[in-house]
Amino acid sequence: MGLIDRWLRKYQDDWCRDCKCVMEKVQKQLYALPSVTVGHYVERKDPEFYAKNLYIVDKKADIPSGIYACGAIQYRCPECGKRLTVLDPFLPVRNEEKHENSVVFRNGELDDILWK
């Protein structure tokens, strides 16, 4: 693996930094973030906030206009078994999505809430 490739991989969410391999998707779920509306998004890295404000939805169409959605994906490293959760907050707008920076939880902070 070249240097540039290694550098790029370091910043990918689905890359195990210890084993240097791609992690596999274990499960994913779509949530609504009704407390965050269009024009009022602030990046939050506090797991408490997500624990209190995420509500499971089946599909994007269930989320009213102007309300943020949040995709949650749990990854697992096939070699060391380490798990991490990536939250991808986005604003669904008709057929488009406006994505914000993803938030990564590497120490299972949300596992009990999201994947119970």
Residue ranges in contact with other proteins by CB under 8 A: 37-39, 64-67, 91, 93-94, 96, 98
User: In whole angstroms, how close is the CB of 97 to other proteins at the nearest point?
Assistant: 8
- Closest to other proteins by CB, 2 or 39: 39
* CB closer to other proteins out of 21 and 67: 67
| Three-state secondary structure readout of the chain | CCHHHHHHHHCCCCEECCCCEECEEEEEEEEEEEEEECCCCCCCCCHHHHHHHCEECCCHHHCCCCEEEEEEEEEECCCCCCEEEEEEEEEEECCEEEECCCEEECCCCCHHHHCC
Judged by CB, which is closer to other proteins: 66, or 78? 66
Min separation Cβ 31 and other proteins, Å: 18
Instruction: Choose between 3 and 61: whose C-beta lies nearer to other proteins.
Output: 61
Shortest Å, Cβ 40 to other proteins: 11
